[in-house]
Chain A
Amino acid sequence: MTEGEDMQKILEVKGLKKIFYKNKVPFVAVNQVSFDMVAGECLGLVGESGCGKSTIAKIITHLTPPDAGSVLLDGTETLYKKGKKERELYTKIQMVFQSPQDSFDPRCSLGDGIMESMRNRGFRKAQATERMYELLDMVELEREFALRYPHEVSGGQCQRAAIARALAPEPRLIICDEATSALDVTVQAQMVKLLQRLQKERRLSLLFICHDLALVQALCDRVLVMYKGSIIEQGIPDEVILHPQKEYTKMLVDSAF
Protein backbone atom coordinates (compact mmCIF):
# COMPACT_ATOMS: atom_id res chain seq x y z
CA MET A 1 0.00 0.00 0.00
CA THR A 2 1.10 3.55 -0.67
CA GLU A 3 0.95 6.46 1.71
CA GLY A 4 -1.84 9.00 1.22
CA GLU A 5 -5.31 8.25 0.10
CA ASP A 6 -5.07 4.52 0.58
CA MET A 7 -3.89 4.93 4.13
CA GLN A 8 -6.84 7.08 5.10
CA LYS A 9 -8.08 6.06 8.49
CA ILE A 10 -11.65 4.91 8.36
CA LEU A 11 -12.08 3.91 11.98
CA GLU A 12 -10.30 5.16 15.05
CA VAL A 13 -11.14 3.61 18.40
CA LYS A 14 -9.65 5.36 21.40
CA GLY A 15 -9.57 4.34 25.05
CA LEU A 16 -12.72 2.27 24.95
CA LYS A 17 -13.91 1.03 28.31
CA LYS A 18 -16.97 -0.93 29.34
CA ILE A 19 -17.90 -2.09 32.80
CA PHE A 20 -20.70 -4.58 33.38
CA TYR A 21 -22.25 -5.07 36.77
CA LYS A 22 -22.93 -8.66 37.67
CA ASN A 23 -24.91 -8.67 40.91
CA LYS A 24 -23.55 -5.21 41.61
CA VAL A 25 -19.97 -6.45 41.28
CA PRO A 26 -18.21 -4.42 38.60
CA PHE A 27 -16.58 -6.41 35.82
CA VAL A 28 -14.37 -4.69 33.28
CA ALA A 29 -15.28 -6.29 29.94
CA VAL A 30 -13.34 -3.85 27.76
CA ASN A 31 -10.35 -2.01 29.17
CA GLN A 32 -8.64 0.91 27.41
CA VAL A 33 -8.94 -0.53 23.93
CA SER A 34 -7.53 1.60 21.13
CA PHE A 35 -6.93 0.70 17.49
CA ASP A 36 -7.20 2.15 13.99
CA MET A 37 -8.37 0.74 10.71
CA VAL A 38 -7.40 2.08 7.31
CA ALA A 39 -9.82 2.04 4.39
CA GLY A 40 -9.95 -1.29 2.60
CA GLU A 41 -8.18 -3.12 5.38
CA CYS A 42 -9.18 -6.43 6.84
CA LEU A 43 -8.45 -6.39 10.54
CA GLY A 44 -8.69 -9.52 12.65
CA LEU A 45 -9.65 -9.47 16.32
CA VAL A 46 -8.93 -12.70 18.14
CA GLY A 47 -9.23 -13.86 21.72
CA GLU A 48 -10.94 -16.51 23.79
CA SER A 49 -14.67 -16.28 24.30
CA GLY A 50 -15.68 -13.81 26.99
CA CYS A 51 -12.69 -11.56 26.46
CA GLY A 52 -14.84 -8.67 25.22
CA LYS A 53 -14.76 -8.93 21.42
CA SER A 54 -18.52 -8.71 20.91
CA THR A 55 -18.73 -5.88 23.37
CA ILE A 56 -16.33 -3.85 21.22
CA ALA A 57 -18.41 -4.64 18.13
CA LYS A 58 -21.57 -3.58 19.92
CA ILE A 59 -20.06 -0.34 21.11
CA ILE A 60 -18.95 0.55 17.57
CA THR A 61 -22.44 -0.23 16.23
CA HIS A 62 -24.24 1.63 19.04
CA LEU A 63 -25.88 -1.47 20.43
CA THR A 64 -24.15 -0.94 23.79
CA PRO A 65 -23.03 2.39 25.22
CA PRO A 66 -19.41 2.51 26.43
CA ASP A 67 -18.35 3.90 29.80
CA ALA A 68 -15.41 5.80 28.33
CA GLY A 69 -13.61 6.31 25.05
CA SER A 70 -14.46 7.46 21.57
CA VAL A 71 -15.10 5.96 18.17
CA LEU A 72 -14.27 8.07 15.14
CA LEU A 73 -15.54 7.20 11.73
CA ASP A 74 -13.81 9.12 8.93
CA GLY A 75 -12.46 11.45 11.57
CA THR A 76 -15.81 12.35 13.17
CA GLU A 77 -17.06 11.16 16.52
CA THR A 78 -19.94 8.67 16.17
CA LEU A 79 -20.80 7.91 19.77
CA TYR A 80 -23.65 9.81 21.41
CA LYS A 81 -25.34 10.31 18.06
CA LYS A 82 -29.07 9.79 18.22
CA GLY A 83 -32.06 9.37 15.93
CA LYS A 84 -31.41 10.35 12.33
CA LYS A 85 -27.66 10.73 12.82
CA GLU A 86 -27.52 7.26 14.32
CA ARG A 87 -29.40 5.84 11.36
CA GLU A 88 -26.94 7.57 9.05
CA LEU A 89 -24.17 5.71 10.84
CA TYR A 90 -25.75 2.42 9.78
CA THR A 91 -25.27 3.33 6.14
CA LYS A 92 -21.53 3.28 6.82
CA ILE A 93 -21.16 0.49 9.34
CA GLN A 94 -22.90 -2.85 9.18
CA MET A 95 -22.57 -6.06 11.10
CA VAL A 96 -22.88 -9.79 10.43
CA PHE A 97 -23.83 -11.76 13.52
CA GLN A 98 -22.63 -15.04 14.92
CA SER A 99 -25.76 -17.19 14.67
CA PRO A 100 -27.25 -16.54 11.24
CA GLN A 101 -30.67 -18.02 11.99
CA ASP A 102 -31.13 -15.85 15.07
CA SER A 103 -30.20 -12.73 13.17
CA PHE A 104 -33.33 -12.96 11.01
CA ASP A 105 -36.82 -12.45 12.39
CA PRO A 106 -38.45 -15.92 12.39
CA ARG A 107 -41.63 -14.35 11.06
CA CYS A 108 -40.10 -12.44 8.14
CA SER A 109 -38.70 -13.87 4.93
CA LEU A 110 -35.01 -13.45 4.19
CA GLY A 111 -35.90 -11.09 1.34
CA ASP A 112 -37.86 -8.87 3.74
CA GLY A 113 -34.91 -8.81 6.11
CA ILE A 114 -32.54 -7.78 3.32
CA MET A 115 -34.93 -5.10 2.09
CA GLU A 116 -35.62 -3.58 5.50
CA SER A 117 -32.78 -1.08 5.37
CA MET A 118 -33.70 -0.05 1.85
CA ARG A 119 -37.36 0.42 2.74
CA ASN A 120 -36.27 2.50 5.72
CA ARG A 121 -34.27 4.72 3.40
CA GLY A 122 -37.33 5.32 1.24
CA PHE A 123 -36.84 2.82 -1.58
CA ARG A 124 -40.11 1.84 -3.20
CA LYS A 125 -41.06 -1.82 -3.03
CA ALA A 126 -40.17 -2.62 -6.64
CA GLN A 127 -36.86 -0.78 -6.41
CA ALA A 128 -35.94 -2.54 -3.19
CA THR A 129 -36.89 -5.94 -4.58
CA GLU A 130 -34.79 -5.37 -7.67
CA ARG A 131 -31.78 -4.43 -5.59
CA MET A 132 -32.38 -7.28 -3.16
CA TYR A 133 -32.11 -9.73 -6.07
CA GLU A 134 -28.84 -8.13 -7.15
CA LEU A 135 -27.52 -8.55 -3.63
CA LEU A 136 -28.53 -12.22 -3.60
CA ASP A 137 -26.60 -12.67 -6.85
CA MET A 138 -23.65 -10.96 -5.28
CA VAL A 139 -23.54 -13.40 -2.35
CA GLU A 140 -24.19 -16.33 -4.71
CA LEU A 141 -27.58 -17.20 -3.33
CA GLU A 142 -30.39 -18.21 -5.67
CA ARG A 143 -33.17 -15.70 -5.98
CA GLU A 144 -35.83 -18.08 -4.75
CA PHE A 145 -34.28 -17.85 -1.27
CA ALA A 146 -35.81 -14.40 -0.91
CA LEU A 147 -39.13 -16.04 -0.08
CA ARG A 148 -37.76 -18.52 2.43
CA TYR A 149 -37.86 -18.15 6.18
CA PRO A 150 -34.73 -18.42 8.32
CA HIS A 151 -35.63 -21.91 9.60
CA GLU A 152 -36.05 -23.14 6.05
CA VAL A 153 -32.44 -22.62 4.98
CA SER A 154 -29.06 -23.93 6.12
CA GLY A 155 -26.72 -21.96 8.33
CA GLY A 156 -24.42 -21.14 5.41
CA GLN A 157 -27.27 -19.97 3.19
CA CYS A 158 -28.66 -17.89 6.02
CA GLN A 159 -25.27 -16.29 6.63
CA ARG A 160 -25.02 -15.43 2.93
CA ALA A 161 -28.36 -13.68 3.25
CA ALA A 162 -27.04 -11.89 6.32
CA ILE A 163 -24.04 -10.70 4.32
CA ALA A 164 -26.41 -9.50 1.59
CA ARG A 165 -28.37 -7.62 4.22
CA ALA A 166 -25.19 -6.03 5.54
CA LEU A 167 -24.20 -4.99 2.01
CA ALA A 168 -27.60 -3.43 1.26
CA PRO A 169 -26.85 0.08 2.60
CA GLU A 170 -23.47 0.00 0.81
CA PRO A 171 -21.46 0.38 4.00
CA ARG A 172 -17.74 1.10 4.08
CA LEU A 173 -17.07 -1.06 7.11
CA ILE A 174 -18.53 -4.46 7.95
CA ILE A 175 -17.99 -6.03 11.33
CA CYS A 176 -18.19 -9.81 11.28
CA ASP A 177 -18.72 -10.96 14.83
CA GLU A 178 -17.80 -14.66 14.72
CA ALA A 179 -19.74 -14.76 11.48
CA THR A 180 -18.23 -18.10 10.55
CA SER A 181 -17.99 -19.74 13.96
CA ALA A 182 -21.39 -21.40 13.85
CA LEU A 183 -20.74 -22.96 10.43
CA ASP A 184 -18.96 -26.18 9.60
CA VAL A 185 -15.49 -26.12 8.12
CA THR A 186 -16.26 -26.36 4.40
CA VAL A 187 -18.95 -23.72 4.62
CA GLN A 188 -16.55 -21.61 6.66
CA ALA A 189 -14.05 -21.73 3.82
CA GLN A 190 -16.71 -20.68 1.30
CA MET A 191 -17.71 -17.81 3.54
CA VAL A 192 -14.12 -16.61 3.86
CA LYS A 193 -13.76 -16.73 0.07
CA LEU A 194 -16.94 -14.75 -0.37
CA LEU A 195 -15.84 -12.11 2.13
CA GLN A 196 -12.43 -11.87 0.46
CA ARG A 197 -14.01 -11.36 -2.95
CA LEU A 198 -16.52 -8.78 -1.70
CA GLN A 199 -13.83 -6.93 0.16
CA LYS A 200 -11.74 -6.59 -3.01
CA GLU A 201 -14.66 -5.77 -5.31
CA ARG A 202 -16.26 -3.19 -3.07
CA ARG A 203 -13.20 -1.83 -1.28
CA LEU A 204 -14.78 -2.78 2.00
CA SER A 205 -13.07 -2.56 5.34
CA LEU A 206 -13.62 -5.64 7.40
CA LEU A 207 -13.34 -6.06 11.15
CA PHE A 208 -13.20 -9.81 11.42
CA ILE A 209 -13.87 -11.02 14.94
CA CYS A 210 -12.94 -14.62 15.44
CA HIS A 211 -11.36 -17.02 17.88
CA ASP A 212 -9.67 -19.07 15.18
CA LEU A 213 -6.17 -17.84 14.31
CA ALA A 214 -5.98 -19.97 11.18
CA LEU A 215 -8.99 -18.23 9.66
CA VAL A 216 -7.58 -14.85 10.57
CA GLN A 217 -4.30 -15.77 8.90
CA ALA A 218 -6.14 -16.68 5.72
CA LEU A 219 -8.20 -13.53 5.56
CA CYS A 220 -6.71 -10.62 7.48
CA ASP A 221 -4.03 -8.01 6.78
CA ARG A 222 -3.48 -7.33 10.44
CA VAL A 223 -4.54 -8.91 13.69
CA LEU A 224 -5.24 -7.73 17.22
CA VAL A 225 -4.95 -10.23 20.04
CA MET A 226 -7.25 -9.59 22.95
CA TYR A 227 -7.07 -11.00 26.45
CA LYS A 228 -9.40 -10.19 29.33
CA GLY A 229 -10.62 -6.93 27.88
CA SER A 230 -7.31 -5.54 26.64
CA ILE A 231 -5.38 -5.71 23.41
CA ILE A 232 -2.10 -7.40 24.30
CA GLU A 233 -0.50 -7.82 20.91
CA GLN A 234 -0.95 -6.74 17.31
CA GLY A 235 0.75 -7.17 13.98
CA ILE A 236 0.71 -9.03 10.68
CA PRO A 237 -0.89 -12.45 11.21
CA ASP A 238 2.08 -14.47 9.92
CA GLU A 239 4.43 -12.67 12.27
CA VAL A 240 2.18 -12.92 15.26
CA ILE A 241 1.81 -16.62 14.63
CA LEU A 242 5.51 -17.25 14.02
CA HIS A 243 6.87 -14.99 16.76
CA PRO A 244 4.24 -14.49 19.42
CA GLN A 245 5.44 -12.01 22.02
CA LYS A 246 3.09 -12.82 24.87
CA GLU A 247 2.53 -16.07 26.74
CA TYR A 248 -1.18 -15.92 26.00
CA THR A 249 -0.63 -15.50 22.26
CA LYS A 250 1.73 -18.48 22.28
CA MET A 251 -1.00 -20.56 23.88
CA LEU A 252 -3.52 -19.37 21.33
CA VAL A 253 -1.14 -20.24 18.48
CA ASP A 254 -0.34 -23.66 19.93
CA SER A 255 -4.00 -24.52 20.30
CA ALA A 256 -4.79 -23.41 16.73
CA PHE A 257 -2.03 -25.20 14.84
Chain B
Amino acid sequence: MREKKIVKDYTKQKMLVFGVLVGMVILIALFAPYLTSYDPYEQDLGNALLPPGKEHLLGTDRYGRDMLSRVMVGAQSTIFSALLLVVVITVMGSMIGIICGYHGGKLDVFLMRLSDIFLAFPGMVFAIAVASVMSGGIFNAVVALACISWPKYARITRSQVMAIKNMPYIEAAKLSGSGTLKIIRKHILPNIAGAIVVTAVLDIGTMIMEIAGLSFLGLGATPPTAEWGSMMSNGRSMLQTSPWVILAPGTAIFLTVMIFNLAGDTMRDILDPRQRKG
Protein backbone atom coordinates (compact mmCIF):
# COMPACT_ATOMS: atom_id res chain seq x y z
CA MET B 1 0.00 0.00 0.00
CA ARG B 2 2.61 2.48 1.13
CA GLU B 3 5.05 1.31 -1.50
CA LYS B 4 2.50 1.83 -4.26
CA LYS B 5 1.97 5.41 -3.24
CA ILE B 6 5.67 6.18 -3.35
CA VAL B 7 6.00 4.66 -6.82
CA LYS B 8 3.09 6.70 -8.10
CA ASP B 9 4.43 10.02 -6.85
CA TYR B 10 7.78 9.18 -8.32
CA THR B 11 6.21 8.68 -11.75
CA LYS B 12 4.68 12.11 -11.67
CA GLN B 13 7.94 13.76 -10.72
CA LYS B 14 9.74 11.84 -13.44
CA MET B 15 7.19 13.03 -15.98
CA LEU B 16 7.74 16.60 -14.83
CA VAL B 17 11.52 16.34 -15.10
CA PHE B 18 11.51 14.65 -18.50
CA GLY B 19 8.76 16.92 -19.73
CA VAL B 20 10.88 19.95 -18.85
CA LEU B 21 13.93 18.38 -20.49
CA VAL B 22 12.00 17.60 -23.67
CA GLY B 23 10.67 21.15 -23.64
CA MET B 24 14.21 22.53 -23.28
CA VAL B 25 15.55 20.42 -26.14
CA ILE B 26 12.73 21.56 -28.39
CA LEU B 27 13.16 25.20 -27.36
CA ILE B 28 16.90 25.05 -28.02
CA ALA B 29 16.25 23.53 -31.43
CA LEU B 30 13.58 26.11 -32.18
CA PHE B 31 15.64 29.15 -31.23
CA ALA B 32 19.05 27.77 -32.13
CA PRO B 33 19.85 30.50 -34.69
CA TYR B 34 19.34 33.17 -32.01
CA LEU B 35 21.25 31.35 -29.27
CA THR B 36 24.48 30.61 -31.07
CA SER B 37 27.45 32.93 -30.73
CA TYR B 38 28.98 31.93 -34.07
CA ASP B 39 27.57 31.45 -37.53
CA PRO B 40 27.45 27.67 -37.88
CA TYR B 41 28.22 27.91 -41.60
CA GLU B 42 31.04 30.46 -41.52
CA GLN B 43 34.37 28.89 -42.38
CA ASP B 44 37.54 30.07 -40.66
CA LEU B 45 40.35 27.84 -41.84
CA GLY B 46 42.84 29.58 -39.54
CA ASN B 47 40.97 28.20 -36.56
CA ALA B 48 40.35 24.67 -37.91
CA LEU B 49 40.17 21.70 -35.53
CA LEU B 50 40.65 23.70 -32.35
CA PRO B 51 40.06 21.56 -29.27
CA PRO B 52 37.30 22.60 -26.84
CA GLY B 53 38.30 25.75 -25.02
CA LYS B 54 37.16 29.16 -23.89
CA GLU B 55 36.52 30.61 -27.33
CA HIS B 56 34.87 27.51 -28.77
CA LEU B 57 33.28 25.48 -25.97
CA LEU B 58 33.09 22.30 -28.08
CA GLY B 59 35.99 23.12 -30.39
CA THR B 60 35.84 23.63 -34.14
CA ASP B 61 35.64 21.30 -37.14
CA ARG B 62 38.04 21.05 -40.02
CA TYR B 63 36.69 24.18 -41.66
CA GLY B 64 36.98 26.09 -38.43
CA ARG B 65 33.22 26.19 -37.81
CA ASP B 66 32.13 26.39 -34.17
CA MET B 67 30.95 22.91 -33.06
CA LEU B 68 28.56 24.14 -30.37
CA SER B 69 26.74 26.35 -32.85
CA ARG B 70 26.60 23.54 -35.37
CA VAL B 71 25.27 21.06 -32.83
CA MET B 72 22.58 23.51 -31.74
CA VAL B 73 21.50 24.36 -35.27
CA GLY B 74 21.83 20.69 -36.20
CA ALA B 75 19.23 19.94 -33.52
CA GLN B 76 16.75 21.77 -35.72
CA SER B 77 17.15 19.57 -38.78
CA THR B 78 17.46 16.32 -36.84
CA ILE B 79 14.76 16.77 -34.21
CA PHE B 80 12.21 18.54 -36.36
CA SER B 81 12.50 16.10 -39.21
CA ALA B 82 12.09 13.27 -36.69
CA LEU B 83 9.01 14.99 -35.26
CA LEU B 84 7.59 15.58 -38.72
CA LEU B 85 8.25 11.95 -39.55
CA VAL B 86 6.54 10.71 -36.40
CA VAL B 87 3.51 12.93 -37.01
CA VAL B 88 3.25 11.75 -40.61
CA ILE B 89 3.49 8.04 -39.82
CA THR B 90 1.17 8.35 -36.82
CA VAL B 91 -1.55 10.06 -38.82
CA MET B 92 -1.08 7.89 -41.90
CA GLY B 93 -0.70 4.62 -40.01
CA SER B 94 -3.60 5.16 -37.67
CA MET B 95 -5.90 6.26 -40.46
CA ILE B 96 -5.12 3.05 -42.34
CA GLY B 97 -5.45 1.08 -39.11
CA ILE B 98 -8.85 2.57 -38.34
CA ILE B 99 -10.14 1.83 -41.84
CA CYS B 100 -8.86 -1.76 -41.64
CA GLY B 101 -10.03 -2.40 -38.12
CA TYR B 102 -13.45 -0.85 -38.45
CA HIS B 103 -14.30 -1.80 -41.99
CA GLY B 104 -12.64 -5.21 -42.25
CA GLY B 105 -13.21 -7.22 -45.41
CA LYS B 106 -11.09 -7.31 -48.54
CA LEU B 107 -9.62 -3.84 -48.09
CA ASP B 108 -8.35 -4.90 -44.67
CA VAL B 109 -6.78 -8.05 -46.09
CA PHE B 110 -5.10 -6.09 -48.88
CA LEU B 111 -3.69 -3.34 -46.65
CA MET B 112 -2.51 -5.79 -44.01
CA ARG B 113 -0.70 -7.94 -46.59
CA LEU B 114 0.91 -4.77 -47.86
CA SER B 115 2.03 -3.89 -44.35
CA ASP B 116 3.33 -7.45 -43.91
CA ILE B 117 5.56 -6.91 -46.92
CA PHE B 118 6.98 -3.74 -45.38
CA LEU B 119 7.40 -5.37 -42.00
CA ALA B 120 9.14 -8.39 -43.52
CA PHE B 121 11.98 -6.25 -44.92
CA PRO B 122 14.72 -5.12 -42.57
CA GLY B 123 13.51 -1.52 -42.18
CA MET B 124 16.80 0.33 -42.50
CA VAL B 125 17.86 -1.60 -45.60
CA PHE B 126 14.60 -0.72 -47.26
CA ALA B 127 14.91 2.93 -46.22
CA ILE B 128 18.45 3.03 -47.66
CA ALA B 129 17.16 1.64 -50.92
CA VAL B 130 14.26 4.10 -51.10
CA ALA B 131 16.41 7.06 -50.05
CA SER B 132 19.09 6.30 -52.62
CA VAL B 133 16.50 5.93 -55.37
CA MET B 134 15.21 9.36 -54.37
CA SER B 135 18.76 10.75 -54.38
CA GLY B 136 19.23 12.02 -50.83
CA GLY B 137 18.10 15.19 -49.14
CA ILE B 138 16.64 15.28 -45.65
CA PHE B 139 13.07 15.56 -46.89
CA ASN B 140 13.52 12.45 -48.99
CA ALA B 141 14.98 10.67 -45.98
CA VAL B 142 11.78 11.51 -44.10
CA VAL B 143 9.69 10.15 -46.99
CA ALA B 144 11.76 6.96 -47.15
CA LEU B 145 11.44 6.36 -43.42
CA ALA B 146 7.72 7.14 -43.52
CA CYS B 147 7.27 4.49 -46.21
CA ILE B 148 8.70 1.79 -43.99
CA SER B 149 7.40 2.96 -40.61
CA TRP B 150 3.63 3.35 -41.06
CA PRO B 151 2.78 -0.39 -40.87
CA LYS B 152 3.58 -0.54 -37.17
CA TYR B 153 1.03 2.19 -36.46
CA ALA B 154 -1.52 0.63 -38.76
CA ARG B 155 -1.16 -2.66 -36.88
CA ILE B 156 -1.42 -1.14 -33.41
CA THR B 157 -4.41 1.02 -34.33
CA ARG B 158 -6.13 -1.82 -36.13
CA SER B 159 -5.89 -4.16 -33.17
CA GLN B 160 -7.07 -1.42 -30.80
CA VAL B 161 -10.04 -0.63 -33.03
CA MET B 162 -10.93 -4.29 -33.35
CA ALA B 163 -10.78 -4.68 -29.59
CA ILE B 164 -13.35 -1.96 -28.98
CA LYS B 165 -15.50 -1.89 -32.09
CA ASN B 166 -17.75 -4.63 -30.73
CA MET B 167 -18.06 -3.08 -27.29
CA PRO B 168 -21.67 -2.44 -26.31
CA TYR B 169 -21.04 1.31 -26.15
CA ILE B 170 -20.22 1.35 -29.85
CA GLU B 171 -23.42 -0.56 -30.55
CA ALA B 172 -25.30 1.84 -28.29
CA ALA B 173 -23.89 4.78 -30.25
CA LYS B 174 -25.09 3.17 -33.45
CA LEU B 175 -28.53 2.75 -31.90
CA SER B 176 -28.43 6.43 -30.99
CA GLY B 177 -28.28 7.15 -34.69
CA SER B 178 -24.60 8.11 -34.88
CA GLY B 179 -22.99 7.46 -38.27
CA THR B 180 -19.67 5.74 -38.83
CA LEU B 181 -17.63 8.95 -38.90
CA LYS B 182 -19.14 10.22 -35.66
CA ILE B 183 -18.60 6.87 -33.96
CA ILE B 184 -14.95 6.88 -35.00
CA ARG B 185 -14.40 10.50 -34.01
CA LYS B 186 -16.32 10.51 -30.75
CA HIS B 187 -16.11 6.98 -29.40
CA ILE B 188 -13.20 5.16 -31.02
CA LEU B 189 -10.43 7.75 -31.41
CA PRO B 190 -10.54 9.09 -27.83
CA ASN B 191 -10.39 5.55 -26.49
CA ILE B 192 -7.35 4.48 -28.52
CA ALA B 193 -5.47 7.80 -28.64
CA GLY B 194 -3.48 7.01 -25.49
CA ALA B 195 -1.87 3.89 -26.91
CA ILE B 196 -1.06 5.61 -30.21
CA VAL B 197 0.42 8.71 -28.60
CA VAL B 198 2.63 6.63 -26.30
CA THR B 199 3.90 4.63 -29.28
CA ALA B 200 4.58 7.84 -31.16
CA VAL B 201 6.48 9.49 -28.32
CA LEU B 202 8.55 6.34 -27.79
CA ASP B 203 9.35 6.36 -31.51
CA ILE B 204 10.76 9.89 -31.61
CA GLY B 205 14.12 8.68 -30.30
CA THR B 206 14.25 5.83 -32.80
CA MET B 207 13.41 8.18 -35.65
CA ILE B 208 16.09 10.67 -34.60
CA MET B 209 18.59 7.83 -34.84
CA GLU B 210 17.29 6.62 -38.18
CA ILE B 211 17.37 10.07 -39.72
CA ALA B 212 20.86 10.61 -38.35
CA GLY B 213 21.75 7.14 -39.62
CA LEU B 214 20.62 7.89 -43.16
CA SER B 215 22.45 11.21 -43.07
CA PHE B 216 25.55 9.46 -41.77
CA LEU B 217 25.40 7.27 -44.86
CA GLY B 218 25.06 10.35 -47.01
CA LEU B 219 21.41 9.64 -47.83
CA GLY B 220 19.89 12.33 -45.65
CA ALA B 221 21.00 15.90 -45.07
CA THR B 222 23.45 17.08 -47.73
CA PRO B 223 26.83 18.60 -46.73
CA PRO B 224 26.79 22.17 -45.66
CA THR B 225 23.58 21.60 -43.68
CA ALA B 226 24.30 21.10 -40.00
CA GLU B 227 22.76 17.75 -39.11
CA TRP B 228 24.00 15.40 -36.42
CA GLY B 229 24.31 12.30 -38.56
CA SER B 230 26.21 13.98 -41.38
CA MET B 231 28.38 15.86 -38.86
CA MET B 232 29.44 12.55 -37.35
CA SER B 233 30.07 11.18 -40.80
CA ASN B 234 32.29 14.14 -41.67
CA GLY B 235 34.25 13.72 -38.48
CA ARG B 236 34.80 10.00 -38.61
CA SER B 237 38.26 10.21 -40.19
CA MET B 238 39.38 12.45 -37.33
CA LEU B 239 38.15 10.24 -34.51
CA GLN B 240 41.70 9.69 -33.22
CA THR B 241 43.17 13.11 -33.85
CA SER B 242 40.22 15.41 -33.03
CA PRO B 243 37.61 13.28 -31.28
CA TRP B 244 35.45 16.28 -30.33
CA VAL B 245 34.32 16.65 -33.92
CA ILE B 246 32.50 13.35 -33.70
CA LEU B 247 31.82 13.29 -29.95
CA ALA B 248 29.83 16.53 -29.93
CA PRO B 249 27.08 15.47 -32.35
CA GLY B 250 27.29 11.88 -31.03
CA THR B 251 26.65 13.02 -27.47
CA ALA B 252 23.86 15.28 -28.69
CA ILE B 253 22.16 12.31 -30.36
CA PHE B 254 22.70 10.15 -27.31
CA LEU B 255 21.28 12.69 -24.86
CA THR B 256 18.32 13.67 -27.03
CA VAL B 257 17.33 10.11 -27.77
CA MET B 258 17.65 9.24 -24.09
CA ILE B 259 15.51 12.20 -23.02
CA PHE B 260 12.76 11.39 -25.52
CA ASN B 261 12.80 7.69 -24.64
CA LEU B 262 12.65 8.30 -20.90
CA ALA B 263 9.81 10.78 -21.40
CA GLY B 264 7.99 8.23 -23.54
CA ASP B 265 8.52 5.50 -20.97
CA THR B 266 7.19 7.64 -18.17
CA MET B 267 4.26 8.69 -20.27
CA ARG B 268 3.44 5.06 -20.92
CA ASP B 269 3.52 4.39 -17.19
CA ILE B 270 1.02 7.17 -16.66
CA LEU B 271 -1.27 6.35 -19.57
CA ASP B 272 -1.04 2.60 -19.10
CA PRO B 273 -4.56 1.41 -18.28
CA ARG B 274 -3.24 -0.90 -15.59
CA GLN B 275 -1.94 2.10 -13.69
CA ARG B 276 -4.71 4.48 -14.59
CA LYS B 277 -7.44 2.71 -12.61
CA GLY B 278 -10.26 5.04 -11.83
Question: Does B173 interact with chain A (Cβ within 8 Å)?
Answer: yes
B247 CB, nearest partner CB in chain A, Å: 47
Q: Scoring B residues 237 to 278 as 1 if CB is less than 8 Å from chain A, else 0, what string do you get?
A: 000000000000000000000000000000000000000001
Pair count A-B, CB < 8 A: 68
Select which of A95, A104, A162, A169 is within 8 A of B177 by beta carbon. A169
B177 touches A117 (CB 8 A): yes
B40 CB, nearest partner CB in chain A, Å: 46
Chain B residues near A168: list those with CB within 8 A.
176
Q: Scoring A residues 28 to 43 as 1 if CB is less than 8 Å from chain B, else 0, what string do you get?
A: 0000000000000000
Bound Cα distance from A107 to B168, whole angstroms: 14
Bound Cα distance from A103 to B175, whole angstroms: 11
Chain A residues near B168: list those with CB within 8 A.
97-99, 102-103
Q: Provide the main secondary structure of the chain B interface.
A: helix
Chain B residues near A120: list those with CB within 8 A.
176-178, 182
Bound Cα distance from A103 to B179, whole angstroms: 17
Using C-beta atoms within 8 Å of the partner chain, give the interface range for chain B. Answer: 10 to 19
B175 touches A95 (CB 8 A): yes
Using C-beta atoms within 8 Å of the partner chain, give the interface range for chain A. Answer: 20 to 34
Question: Does B6 interact with chain A (Cβ within 8 Å)?
Answer: no
Select which of B169, B177, B191 is within 8 A of A121 by beta carbon. B177
Question: Does A151 interact with chain B (Cβ within 8 Å)?
Answer: yes
Q: Which residue of A lies closest to B167 (CB)?
A: A102
Select which of B171, B173, B191 is within 8 A of A116 by beta carbon. B173
Chain A residues near B187: list those with CB within 8 A.
105, 107-108
B176 touches A165 (CB 8 A): yes
The 4 closest A-B pairs by CB, nearest first: A117-B176, A120-B177, A103-B168, A116-B176
Can you add 16 more A-B contacts, CB < 8 Å, to A102-B167, A116-B178? A61-B171, A90-B174, A90-B175, A97-B172, A102-B169, A103-B172, A105-B186, A107-B187, A107-B190, A117-B177, A120-B176, A120-B178, A120-B182, A151-B278, A166-B175, A169-B176
Interface residues of A (CB under 8 A from B): 58, 61-63, 87, 90-91, 94-95, 97-99, 102-108, 113, 116-117, 120-121, 151, 162, 165-166, 168-169
